[in-house]
Amino acid sequence: MQMIVVPGSASLSLARSLADTLDVPLADVENRRFPDGECYVRLLSSLDGEDAIVVNRAYPDEKIVETLLLQDAVREAGAKRITTVLSYMGYSRQDKLFNPGEAISARAMARMFSLYSDAVVTVDIHDRGILRWFDVPVEDVSGMPALAEKLETMGVEIVLSPDKGALHRARTVGEMLAVPWDHLEKTRLDGEHVVIKPKDLNVKGKIVAIVDDMISTGGTVVTAAGQLRDQGARRIIAACTHGLFVGNALERVRRACDAVISTDTIENPTTSVTVAREIAGVL
């Protein structure tokens, strides 16, 4: 079975890198909107009997719909097997009931994306517990090794995660760079605000990297950077897999940190590494 990469409109560059890494063709896809805003997709390449790798991010909502339509078009075009690569899985932070009456959004998304897939690949999913809700085999790969390679060229001396739950990310990067790693003590107050308790981290005069799965409003990394500045850090680098940067977040993060880097799961001005190699590794 010949493999072919089918790009979603939000992940063209990642899809191209993936096709190059795998040395397989990239499908031609027409993508436009109807006057009422509804999405239209059409495959212009032949997929008969192929092993199709659909690559798109599941964010914002319109890209979720586009991904579903792509899955349907790929099946209709005769693909033998469909693997859906969700470069960024939206709704993953609502992964439990915080209040009665809510939806477990991450579960709803996982079930829906499983409907038209034989397998799914996610990248640094917010919590690996979400993986159990996919009804097909799923692999989660990490953007941390790719970020670590870039951070190595930036002279990082200590790697921190904003909270204990994300310590495994700091550990992955810290071990690759052979530098110390630790975590801050974050408590979330609401969607935009967090408090980070002071913790003596021995960052004085050092180049520090804060690593996280995503930067959304920037509240977490800006608050963390403030703490580290107060403790005398020389240079602060924010590194994340998914750079959402909602509203003026990028501006705020750039003001608070000396450098900002992210991967191509969500293409944005700070994208400086690709996760194509990690995805290719599990296909």
In the bound state with ligand R5P, the residue whose beta carbon lies nearer, of 145 and 155, is 145
Which candidate in 63, 150, 186, 206 is catalytic? 186
In the bound state with ligand R5P, the residue whose beta carbon lies nearer, of 82 and 210, is 210
Residues 6+ apart with CB under 8 A from 201: 158, 160, 182, 184, 228, 231
Contact 142, 241 (CB under 8 A): yes
In the bound state with ligand R5P, the residue whose beta carbon lies nearer, of 16 and 171, is 171
Which secondary structure element, helix H or strand E, spans residue 121, and what is its range?
Answer: strand 119-123
DSSP 3-state of 31: strand
Single-letter amino acid, residue 74: V
186 carries an active-site annotation: yes
Using CB under 6 A as the criterion, which residues of the chain lie in contact with ligand R5P when the complex forms?
Answer: 162, 166, 194, 212-220
CA-based torsion, 59, 123, 160, 239: positive or negative? negative
Chain position carrying tokens 């408590």:
187
- Shortest distance, position 193 Cβ to ligand R5P, whole Å: 8
In the bound state with ligand R5P, the residue whose beta carbon lies nearer, of 66 and 212, is 212
Kindly report whether the peptide bond that precedes residue 198 is cis, defined as omega within 30 degrees of 0. no
C-alpha 118/C-alpha 67 separation (Å) is 14
Active-site amino acid positions: 186
